[in-house]
Amino acid sequence: MKTMTCIEDLRQAARRKVPRAFFDYAESGSYSEQTLNANRADLERIRLRQRVLSDVSHRTTKTAILGEPAALPLVLAPIGLCGMQHGDGEILACRAAQAAGIPFTLSTMSICSIEDVAAAVDKPFWFQLYVMRDRGFIRALIERAAAAKCSALVLTVDLQVLGQRHRDIKNGLSVPPELRINNLIDIATKPAWAASVLRGKRKTFGNIAGHIRGMENVNTLSVWIAGQFDPALNWKDVEWIKSLWPGKLILKGILDVEDARIAAKAGAAALVVSNHGGRQLDGAPSSIAMLPPIVEAVGSDIEIMFDGGIRSGQDVFRALALGARACLSGRAYVYGLGAGGEAGVARAIEIIRNELDVTMALTGVNSIAEIDRGTVNAV
Ligand SMILES: Cc1cc2nc3c(=O)[nH]c(=O)nc-3n(C[C@H](O)[C@H](O)[C@H](O)COP(=O)(O)O)c2cc1C
């Protein structure tokens, strides 16, 4: 892993190791990928202020996220089908995050279940919830997350209708992989991946399989899931979820100032400024473009996190400078997972941490709290 010097190296390694359908699934955005590309382009435009001779010998990336100590302001974002990038991917990523001193978020659409992950790690993790039509199932899922001692519930609010990713359709993406001839040839060239997935605990959606009566068969499970995202979801459901969840609630997928104002009044502990990594509303602004107005409107009322396009410690610095308290990383760690399992995720976190540390030094900053608008050129 030492020769992996940046996230792009991990991405190239993952491209070689992970079957194309799953690599493309991680990589893609919806439709024309305008928003996906804007996430990166707008971050890259932000220029950092080089400052010198300001004694940066005492700097630290340590911070607090939702009141808990963290080694750096980074969280591993919820990723569906993580266990298809590498067998037991959710467990491996959670272990790497906990060893590095940052939170891990398990997706509703994970391969390993809440209970699988809880049994395999020592510390609490966050659980991400998609609200489905079957509210009895959702209630049970929240109870399972509480029983597993999850330390925060991340309610994703931007995926009640699915944005289309062209490549997923063209690749015949399914779980487990559809046995088309080109998929089989592709998998045959990725033996390490195949071995890890075969050894893995599960081959389907661990949080759902076995928890819905009559849905034991994988095909019917996929059909059930596709019909379950509920377009009727609204702010009243947030109240209902708050009444069921005893702990901290995070609203993920806020991209508009009006919605941020409502979110701040809804009693959530934090919100994540996010466009789902450019996978939902194509044509929406980049996350970084919407961060400053949202911070300005509600930053003193609610903790604001950020995701979308983070590929380096410099990017984390940029988002913090524009008012985020912490960043979620999606693809950057997924590439690490595909490239090298637990060690690959650990490397992804280490790369970002080291880059953030050096960036702090060269911008004349000793603590995370000092990273503010004054550390970047006017945006
Ligand atoms: C492959 C993939 C799967 C994802 N699955 C979920 C999910 O199950 N739940 C969710 O809330 N967000 C999901 N997201 C969105 C991420 O949590 C996060 O918002 C996004 O990846 C951030 O952008 P980045 O990948 O540029 O860091 C997914 C993103 C990717 C790339």
Which has the minimum average pLDDT: 196-200, 333-337, 344-348? 196-200
Closest residue by Cα to atom 31, ligand 1, is 26
Ligand 1 atom with the shortest distance to the CA of 332: 27
Contact 24, 329 (CB under 8 A): no
Residue with tokens 């396009």, as numbered in its chain? 309
Ligand 1 atom with the shortest distance to the CA of 110: 8
- Residue 136 has a CB neighbour count (10 Å cut-off) of 9
Q: Which residue has the higher pLDDT, 216 or 159?
A: 159
- Cα 371–Cα 374–Cα 314 angle in degrees, nearest 5: 50
d(CA 275, CA 252): 9
276 is catalytic: yes
The two tokens of residue 54 are 């300001």
The answer to whether the CB of 109 is under 6 A from ligand 1 is yes
Among 79, 109, 158, say which to mutate for ligand 1: greatest number of ligand atoms within 8 Å of CB: 79
- CA 279 to ligand 1 center in whole angstroms: 8
User: pLDDT for 21-44, tens place per residue?
Assistant: 999 999 999 999 999 999 999 999
User: pLDDT for 257-289, tens place per residue?
Assistant: 999 999 999 999 999 999 999 999 999 999 999
Tell me the average pLDDT across 331-353: 98
The answer to whether the CB of 312 is under 6 A from ligand 1 is no
pLDDT band at 149 (very low <50, low <70, confident <90, very high): very high
pLDDT band at 163 (very low <50, low <70, confident <90, very high): very high
pTM over 0.85: yes
Dmax (CA) for the chain in angstroms is 67
Ligand 1 atom with the shortest distance to the CA of 307: 22
Average pLDDT, the chain: 95
Among the options 58, 86, 166, 276, which is catalytic?
A: 276
Contact 47, 376 (CB under 8 A): yes
The answer to whether the CB of 26 is under 6 A from ligand 1 is yes
The DSSP line for 116-151 is HHHHH-SS--EEEE--BS-HHHHHHHHHHHHHTT-S
- The helix/strand/coil state of 173 is coil
The answer to whether the CB of 253 is under 6 A from ligand 1 is no
User: pLDDT for 363-379, tens place per residue?
Assistant: 999 999 999 999 999 77
Give the CB-side neighbour count of residue 362, counting CA atoms within 13 A. 13
Work out whether the CA dihedral 299, 301, 305, 308 comes out positive or negative.
negative
Ligand 1 atom with the shortest distance to the CA of 77: 17
- CA 328 to ligand 1 center in whole angstroms: 9
Q: Which residue has the higher pLDDT, 302 or 183?
A: 302
- Distance, first Cα to last Cα, the chain: 36
pLDDT band at 227 (very low <50, low <70, confident <90, very high): confident
Which residue, 36, 17, 20, is CA-closest to 28?
Answer: 36
- CA 364 to ligand 1 center in whole angstroms: 32
pLDDT band at 220 (very low <50, low <70, confident <90, very high): low
d(CA 63, CA 138): 33
**Angle subtended by helix axes 235-244 and 135-147, to nearest 10:** 40
User: pLDDT for 38-62, tens place per residue?
Assistant: 999 999 999 999 999 999 999 999 9
Contact 131, 237 (CB under 8 A): yes
- The helix/strand/coil state of 48 is strand
Tell me the average pLDDT across 76-81: 97
User: pLDDT for 312-329, tens place per residue?
Assistant: 999 999 999 999 999 999
- The percentage of the chain sitting over the pLDDT mark of 90, rounded to a whole number, equals 88
Residue with tokens 């380096």, as numbered in its chain? 312
Among 11, 130, 331, say which to mutate for ligand 1: greatest number of ligand atoms within 8 Å of CB: 331
User: pLDDT for 86-105, tens place per residue?
Assistant: 999 999 999 999 999 999 99
177 DSSP assignment: P
Tell me the average pLDDT across 69-77: 99
